[in-house]
């Protein structure tokens, strides 16, 4: 029997936000990590052409796999064979494939805390054991080689995310190399979640493929490529895992949507438009970084990349879920509670997504500032 897992609380907040919207309230959605923009114009045009000319069916696009291989060659200096890659219905099935093909029930999988809620819950659902490593401000809320090396016994696997969710922190090149060395030495299999690649505000982003060629790498068209609703992603598996990965995807998921694969191929060469989105996020990030201290939120994780700010709200609350629900009801601004990302300390944190338009960010801040100023300081014993 599968294990019970905790709900994704941001979904319940989003559900309430949509109820308020249906009742006529204007809601600003900062609770989910999804761009407010649509797919690139060229990708949409390609989809229209395919709809008019092809019946479509179960299919895995070799041209798309070859284009992704070119992405690794040009971006990271890594040569990959298309046979190592499977196209998936977004990053979530890619994570399921990696975990289910690389590990056995009962295996221990290390991960950072705070971290994306589905890491912990997917690991549990597959009858694996999550090993969460507390990562605070002293390590920029990121997993380190030293922390991984200190685990006894060594876990069978580790999930790395750079840029990370919910913090946006990026692991530097030297630290990624050190993590790869620890994993090689201790026999730890790496799953690298790279779905926020392309979204950086300064630091260079590196792929784990540069340092650990045998890693599993998860990626997606949902974030940088602004195609969350198209449900398209990919998984790179090590050479020895190819046959097993293909067998699993064929039985569990069949193929990714044909229409999305056609559109995704065009999206990969729509860089000018997509870099325009990144500039919007850059402006939004600057607005939030300037405004949050006025809200009483001085302690935040360094948002190097992605499109999140993870803020310490302990001066106001120790119950971030109730706090976010109250904020939504009274301002119409939906945010994500820290308990999704950290079941131990997350009651003191909340996450803001700035993947909105700049006018929406400005409107959100106009609502948030007076609301936060009106909140009493938390009473502590």
CATH number reported for the structural domain that contains residue 306 in this entry = 3.40.640.10
Q: Rounded to an integer, what distance in angstroms lies between the CA atom of residue 231 and that of residue 89?
A: 5
In this predicted structure, the answer to whether residue 55 has a pLDDT above a threshold of 70 is yes
Average pLDDT of the segment spanning 32-52: 94
In this predicted structure, the answer to whether residue 83 has a pLDDT above a threshold of 90 is yes
Residue 3 lies in a domain: no
Residue 217 shares a structural domain with residue 252: yes
6-10, 133-137, 167-171, 306-310 — which is least confidently predicted? 6-10
Residue 172 lies in a domain: yes
Domain boundary, last residue among 267, 292, 310: 267
Q: What percent of the chain has pLDDT over 70?
A: 99
Domain residue limits at 319: 9-39+271-372
What is residue 2's predicted lDDT score, i.e. its pLDDT? 63
Q: Which of 58, 107, 68 is nearest to 217 (CA)?
A: 68
Domain boundary, last residue among 247, 267, 287: 267
Residue 179 shares a structural domain with residue 216: yes
Q: CA geometry: angle at 198 spanning 207 and 306, to 5°?
A: 100
Residue 77 shares a structural domain with residue 221: yes
DSSP for 103-162, written as a single string: --TT-EEEEEES--HHHHHHHHHTT-EEEEEE--GGGTT---HHHHHH-SSPPSEEEEES
What is residue 380's predicted lDDT score, i.e. its pLDDT? 62
With beta carbons less than 8 A apart as the criterion, state whether 193 and 89 touch. no
Q: Which of 175, 208, 176 is nearest to 191 (CA)?
A: 208
SS3 5: coil
Over its C-alpha atoms, the chain yields an Rg (Å, rounded) of 21
- The domain tally of the chain equals 2
Residue 100 shares a structural domain with residue 245: yes
Q: CA geometry: angle at 338 spanning 118 and 206, to 5°?
A: 60
Average pLDDT of the segment spanning 284-313: 95
What is residue 377's predicted lDDT score, i.e. its pLDDT? 84
Residue 212 shares a structural domain with residue 339: no
What is residue 6's predicted lDDT score, i.e. its pLDDT? 81
The predicted-structure confidence for 185-242, as pLDDT tens digits, reads as follows: 999 999 999 999 999 999 999 999 999 999 999 999 999 999 999 999 999 999 999 9
β-pairing verdict for 349-353 and 336-337: antiparallel
Look up residue 318 and give its two tokens.
Answer: 């120790």
Look up residue 189 and give its two tokens.
Answer: 């299999």
Chain centre distance of CA 3? 23
Residue 54 shares a structural domain with residue 145: yes
What is residue 381's predicted lDDT score, i.e. its pLDDT? 46
Mean pLDDT for all residues in the chain = 95
What is residue 104's predicted lDDT score, i.e. its pLDDT? 96
Which string of b and e fits 196-207 if b means at least 16 CB within 10 Å?
Answer: bbbbbbebebbb
In this predicted structure, the answer to whether residue 280 has a pLDDT above a threshold of 80 is yes
Q: Rounded to an integer, what distance in angstroms lies between the CA atom of residue 99 and that of residue 119?
A: 10
Residue 34 lies in a domain: yes
Q: Rounded to an integer, what distance in angstroms lies between the CA atom of residue 132 and that of residue 120?
A: 8
Residue 261 shares a structural domain with residue 366: no
Residue 221 shares a structural domain with residue 355: no
Residue 104 lies in a domain: yes
What element of type H or E holds 190?
A: strand 189-193
Residue 377 lies in a domain: no
The predicted-structure confidence for 127-157, as pLDDT tens digits, reads as follows: 999 999 999 999 999 999 999 999 999 999 9
Q: Rounded to an integer, what distance in angstroms lies between the CA atom of residue 97 and that of residue 32?
A: 23
What is residue 338's predicted lDDT score, i.e. its pLDDT? 96
SS3 335: coil
Q: Rounded to an integer, what distance in angstroms lies between the CA atom of residue 379 and that of residue 381?
A: 7
Residue 204 DSSP one-character state: P
CA distances to 60, 64, 209, 238, 245 from 249, in Å: 11, 17, 22, 15, 6
> Which residues have CB under 8 Å from 39's CB, separation 6+?
47, 225, 226, 227, 230, 263, 267
Chain centre distance of CA 85? 20
Residue 309 shares a structural domain with residue 250: no
CA distances to 87, 256, 352, 369 from 363, in Å: 38, 37, 14, 10
The predicted-structure confidence for 158-183, as pLDDT tens digits, reads as follows: 999 999 999 999 999 999 999 999 99
Domain boundary, last residue among 267, 295, 327: 267
Residue 103 shares a structural domain with residue 173: yes
């Amino acid at each position: 029997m599968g294990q019970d897992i905790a709900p994704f609380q941001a979904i319940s907040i989003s559900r309430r936000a949509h109820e308020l919207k249906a009742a006529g309230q204007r809601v600003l959605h900062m609770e989910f990590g999804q761009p407010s923009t649509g797919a690139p114009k060229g990708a949409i045009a390609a989809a229209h052409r395919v709809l008019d000319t092809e019946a479509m069916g179960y299919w895995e696009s070799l041209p798309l796999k070859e284009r992704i291989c070119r992405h690794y060659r040009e971006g990271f200096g890594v040569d990959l064979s298309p046979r190592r890659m499977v196209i998936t219905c977004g990053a979530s099935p890619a994570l399921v494939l990696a975990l289910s093909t690389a590990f056995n029930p009962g295996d221990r999988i290390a991960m950072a805390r705070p971290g994306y809620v589905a890491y912990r819950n997917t690991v549990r659902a597959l009858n694996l054991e999550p090993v969460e490593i507390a990562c605070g401000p002293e390590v920029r809320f990121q997993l380190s080689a030293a922390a991984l090396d200190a685990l006894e016994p060594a876990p069978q696997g580790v999930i790395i995310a750079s840029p990370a969710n919910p913090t946006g922190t990026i692991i530097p090149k030297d630290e990624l190399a050190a993590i790869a060395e620890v994993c090689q030495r201790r026999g730890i299999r790496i799953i690298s979640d790279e779905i926020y690649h392309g979204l950086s505000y300064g630091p260079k982003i590196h792929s784990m493929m540069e340092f650990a060629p045998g890693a599993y790498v998860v990626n997606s068209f949902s974030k940088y490529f602004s195609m969350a609703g198209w449900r398209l992603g990919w998984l790179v598996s090590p050479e020895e895992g190819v046959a097993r990965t293909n067998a699993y995807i064929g039985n569990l998921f069949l193929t990714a949507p044909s229409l999305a694969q056609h559109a995704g191929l065009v999206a990969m060469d729509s860089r000018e438009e997509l870099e325009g989105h990144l500039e919007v996020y850059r402006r939004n990030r600057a607005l939030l970084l300037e405004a949050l201290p006025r809200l009483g939120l001085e302690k935040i994780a360094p948002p190097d990349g992605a499109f999140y700010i993870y803020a310490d709200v302990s001066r106001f609350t120790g119950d971030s879920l109730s706090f976010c629900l109250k904020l939504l009801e009274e301002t119409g601004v939906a945010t994500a509670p820290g308990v999704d990302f950290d079941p131990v300390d997350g009651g003191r944190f909340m996450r803001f997504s700035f993947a909105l338009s700049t006018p929406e960010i400005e409107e959100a801040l106009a609502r948030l500032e007076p609301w936060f100023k009106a909140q009493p300081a938390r009473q502590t014993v």
